[in-house]
Copies of this chain bind each other. A is one copy, B any other.
Amino acid sequence: MGRVTLADVARRAGVSLASTSRALNGQVASAATVERVRRAADELGYIPDASARSLRLRRTGQLAFAVADIGNPVYVEMMREIESVVAAEGYRLVVSRTGDADATLDLVRDLNQGYVDGLILSPLRVTPALVEALEQTTVPTVVVGRLPEGARVDTVLADSEGGVALAVDHLIRTGARRIAFLNGPVDTTPGRFRQLGFREATADRTEVVTGEFHAEDFTIDAGYAAARVMLAADEWDAVIAVNDLVGIGILHAAHERGIAVPDELAVIGIDNTTLADVCHPGLTSVDLGAARRGHKAARLILARMEDGDLPPRAVRVAPSLHERGSTAALAGAARPGGPAAVPGSRRVR
């Protein structure tokens, strides 16, 4: 007693294969046929075969979401939202780790095996070869992150520059004058554009002194290590971290050196993850809208699959600053809670 196939159902219902298929798929068929086929299918416990269907229909009902690190809270947030949107449309989600640039390229090439109907890709590093591969591939694709000007691919953009500008403005308004930026690897998309944002936002602020530092990775440990070096070298009023993890590394290093946050050093993270809410003091953080980016990316890929001829779109998600204990309060504003505040943060913009 192996698989129950459509042929078995047809035999039992006493109609042809063609009519059976039509009856089950709501195509044209008489009421009597539909009834008999339904019954036969139920009695046999018929379940259509996904592979056969995919082969014939040229669609799999699957989408891929590919990121460098599945563990990063930002990608998790994004993935959760994507899963929720596409599952509602009947798609399954395949997750892949992209690893390095070569692996990403392989992944994009492998798409032509046709195991998914579309791809949402958030590449850490964008190479010309990758852009070309993306433009070549016949599988609908949406990139979360920045591509070179003119790339004919749908993208969802975080406003890194705007987000970092929010952070810089906030720090300056709270009185900071010596502001450092602790970046991650600068050859990555986030590294590059957050750095760019920092430079732009501080360019015509002649009153501030700036500095740039680099962590080897976007992790707490790497942030901590880089922060030790940074804090040993110079005195800063404030640091903007390339993300919350690095920001938390900074908090640890500051605590270790006996530097009081926010009084002696203000710290701002990026991504506004749960970690920022939970750490001590709460980490003021710029929300680049991971969940909303995920949502838009999902919508975009669905639209693209619907109509492949749409002109490429670039959707941008607005940033917002969430103020917590790691930065000084604005003059006149109530100081939020002090150390280990109750959860919740003030949304400033």
Q: Does A248 contact B (CB under 8 A)?
A: yes
In the complex, the answer to whether B47 meets A112 with C-beta atoms within 8 Å is yes
Which residue from B51, B60, B83 sits with its C-beta under 8 Å from A114?
Answer: B51
A47 to B109, CA, bound (A): 9
Which residue from B50, B79, B84 sits with its C-beta under 8 Å from A113?
Answer: B50
- Nearest chain-B residue to A65 (Cβ)? B95
Q: Does A27 contact B (CB under 8 A)?
A: no
Given contacts A342-B255, A343-B224, contact A80 B84 (CB under 8 A): no
In the complex, the answer to whether B93 meets A94 with C-beta atoms within 8 Å is yes
Other 19 A-B pairs with CB < 8 A, given A252-B342, A278-B279:
A47-B113, A48-B113, A49-B55, A50-B54, A50-B115, A51-B51, A51-B55, A51-B58, A51-B115, A70-B79, A79-B95, A83-B96, A84-B97, A87-B96, A92-B94, A220-B278, A279-B279, A280-B280, A280-B340
Given contacts A278-B278, A280-B280, A342-B252, contact A94 B94 (CB under 8 A): yes
| Residues of B close to A84: CB separation below 8 A | 97
Which residue from B61, B80, B92 sits with its C-beta under 8 Å from A70?
Answer: B80
* Copies of this chain, count: 2
Q: Does A62 contact B (CB under 8 A)?
A: yes
A124 to B109, CA, bound (A): 37
A109 to B84, CA, bound (A): 20
A236-253, CB under 8 A of B: which get 1 and which 0? 000000000000100110
